[in-house]
Structure 1
Amino acid sequence: MTGAVSYFHENGVATITIDDGKVNVMTTDLLDELCRSITQARDDRSMILLRSGREKIFSAGFDVKPLTSRDAEASRALLQAGINAILALLEYPYPVVSLCAGHAYPMGAFLLLASDARIGVHGEYRVGMNEVAIGIAVPDFALHLAGYRVAPTWLHRVVALGRMLNPQEAVEAGFLDMLVPPERVETALDQTIGHLAGLNMAAHASTKNRMRANVAEAIRTAGRDRLLPTG
């Protein structure tokens, strides 16, 4: 347990806050905690609001130390924890809202891609997948997720060229749905959550799960058969 993920439930909304005291590096332990919070929210039959407790950072992404070392076991454990978190959000039966007010590197960007509604805040930060820029081949599961959610005109630039995006580009590319000024964050959250609360949740879950069935199965298969890129 790292204590980097907190859970608060009120009025049908489960707020999950990521705050490791630094830059929200996605370690295996943190991702496991995140999955436990998602399970708790599911038990509470609640919409999720996923946010960062750090200023100017959503997440610095995966802990790269295992990925850039030759520790295959640690790398596999980390990537599998990432897959578990992605699938937990992709297959969550209630709406998932993510609030991004700062940098979102992989795995943080993957959490945005797996969410239903993504609210970005105007600011000087970057969102995207920089793996190839730091010497890491993009895993198959991430290719499937990006192919599902990133706009086709941006896909190659984001994935194969490692281009990190400013907030407006992140909206165009499909990592975010809207941008709001800092002073309107709570209003935007209230409006978004209010709209989503009016959905028929059974219809929402059925529709979303059928839309995402193929990508979820592809991510599972990648995790089982080719978790670490071989070429």
Structure 2
Amino acid sequence: MIVVLGLFERHERQVVDEVDSRNAGHLDTQRQRSGVVLGISDLDDLGQGGLGHLDHMVGPVVNGIDGRCLCKLFAHTASLQAILMHASGSGRTRGRFRPMNDAQPTPQQAATVRIDDGVAVIDFDDGKANVLGHNSIASLLAALDQAEQEGADAVVIAGRPGRFSAGFDLNAMNAGPDEAREMLKRGVDLFLRCYMFPRPVVAACTGHAIAAGAIILLTCDLRVGTQGDFKIGLPELTIGMSLPFFATELARDRISKRHLTRATALGTMYRPDDAVDSGFLDEVADPDNVVSTAIERARGLTGISRGGLVLTRNTARGAIADSIRSGLDEDLSHFSVGS
């Protein structure tokens, strides 16, 4: 019997672990290091691949706070192998826009930019789980630079349907501490770029926002989520990791004080409605309207003073950004997967 401990995005395939079913939901120290959950399970696509009805919850498979196995799937090996090779489809078109990058997203171009009445819409879509790896981080940073250079009055960062971002790329995390820390450093560059961006930034959270995906939400001015069975939060402590200093600083700034301990020290994962109460989101919309709602909210912010916003960013957020930068080297020196 196969128990899926975690379905991690590894570019061309998904990874499963074969274990004794009696140990489902439990990981020892060695397995935590190799099986840490930084992505989400793409169970919808598995179901489309022919497995049939799936009674599941998306999340890390660990001995969690309530002792439940959050993501279980039983199947015969041959069936599962065929399903894991099933490619998930994606694609959407939205309204009027002027394309600035005509090419389809590739591993080197996970983010594309389009202008919608003065609002730069950054579509983040790697065709999979929207993991944050070296290429996607560089693509998002380039998209933000492009939006600023084009003189956009506001920015929307939109994920792909069902997935805003599954967090940092597991491949890079497992490639060794030096590469993992370099990726986290670039990730912090992205977080602070959003956090201190000179124009209003609105997130269209189109689905799951896990770990680093949730951190992006903390850096945006307004966050519009989508209704549905999605998970949003920082699960690091439930999967054998500590929460980095930059994450706790951003959480302290944006998360409701009532939820701060649950969201950080307890690794609570929130459904969209609860994510509004906790501070990860500001509102939710139905899936068909989440991006258009975010664009509408961004358009309502286009009249904000450019110079005034830059000064206010510095006074309201500058000290936090400086603290994150000054503590980054020490923060990264303590980082390790499964620590």
1:205 partnered with 2:310: yes
Task: Give the counterpart letter for 2:214 in structure 1.
Answer: A
The match for 2:121 among 9, 15, 26 is 15
More helix by share: 1
Task: Give the counterpart letter for 1:8 in structure 2.
Answer: R
Structure of greater relative contact order (alpha carbons < 8 Å, 6+ residues apart): 1
The match for 2:156 among 43, 49, 69 is 49
Distance 1:163 1:196 in 2: 31
Alignment gaps of 5+ in structure 2: 1-106
Residue aligned with 2:300, SS: helix
Q: Give the CA RMSD over aligned residues.
A: 1.8
1:116 partnered with 2:221: yes
1:98 partnered with 2:98: no
Alpha-carbon shift at residue 93 of structure 1 (Å): 0.5
Query: 1:115-141 CA distances to partner (integer Å, 9 max, x unpaired)?
Result: 011111211101000111121211111
Distance 1:176 1:186 in 2: 14
Partner of 1:162: 267
Give TM-score, length-normalised by structure 1.
0.92
| Moved beyond 6 Å, runs of 4+ | none
Task: Give the counterpart letter for 1:219 in structure 2.
Answer: I
Distance 1:185 1:78 in 2: 29
Distance 1:103 1:161 in 2: 19
Alpha-carbon shift at residue 175 of structure 1 (Å): 0.7
Distance 1:215 1:194 in 2: 27
Alpha-carbon shift at residue 206 of structure 1 (Å): 1.6
Query: 1:95-148 CA distances to partner (integer Å, 9 max, x unpaired)?
Result: 001001200012111111000111112111010001111212111111111111
Partner of 1:35: 141
Alpha-carbon shift at residue 17 of structure 1 (Å): 1.1
Task: Give the counterpart letter for 2:169 in structure 1.
Answer: D
Shift in alpha-carbon separation, 1:186–1:70, aligned structure 2, 3 A: closer
1:72 partnered with 2:177: yes
Alignment gaps of 5+ in structure 1: none
The match for 1:26 among 108, 123, 132 is 132
Distance 2:310 2:199 in 1: 6
Residue aligned with 2:164, SS: strand
Contact between 1:51 and 1:98, CA under 8 Å: does it hold in 2?
A: yes
1:215 partnered with 2:314: no
Contact between 2:158 and 2:291, CA under 8 Å: does it hold in 1?
A: no
Distance 1:41 1:187 in 2: 18
Contact between 1:45 and 1:94, CA under 8 Å: does it hold in 2?
A: no
Shift in alpha-carbon separation, 1:80–1:160, aligned structure 2, 3 A: same
Shift in alpha-carbon separation, 1:104–1:167, aligned structure 2, 3 A: same
Query: 1:58-97 CA distances to partner (integer Å, 9 max, x unpaired)?
Result: 1111113443x47111111111011000111111010001
Distance 2:258 2:286 in 1: 27
1:129 partnered with 2:234: yes
Shift in alpha-carbon separation, 1:78–1:198, aligned structure 2, 3 A: same
Contact between 1:149 and 1:175, CA under 8 Å: does it hold in 2?
A: yes
Aligned residues: 229
Return the index of the structure with the highest Cα Rg. 2
Contact between 1:140 and 1:229, CA under 8 Å: does it hold in 2?
A: no
Contact between 1:119 and 1:179, CA under 8 Å: does it hold in 2?
A: yes
Task: Give the counterpart letter for 2:166 in structure 1.
Answer: A
Aligned-residue sequence identity (percent) comes to 33
Alpha-carbon shift at residue 188 of structure 1 (Å): 2.5
Alpha-carbon shift at residue 183 of structure 1 (Å): 4.5
Partner of 1:189: 294
Query: 1:135-194 CA distances to partner (integer Å, 9 max, x unpaired)?
Result: 121111111111111111111111111111011111111111111223543553353123
Distance 1:163 1:209 in 2: 31
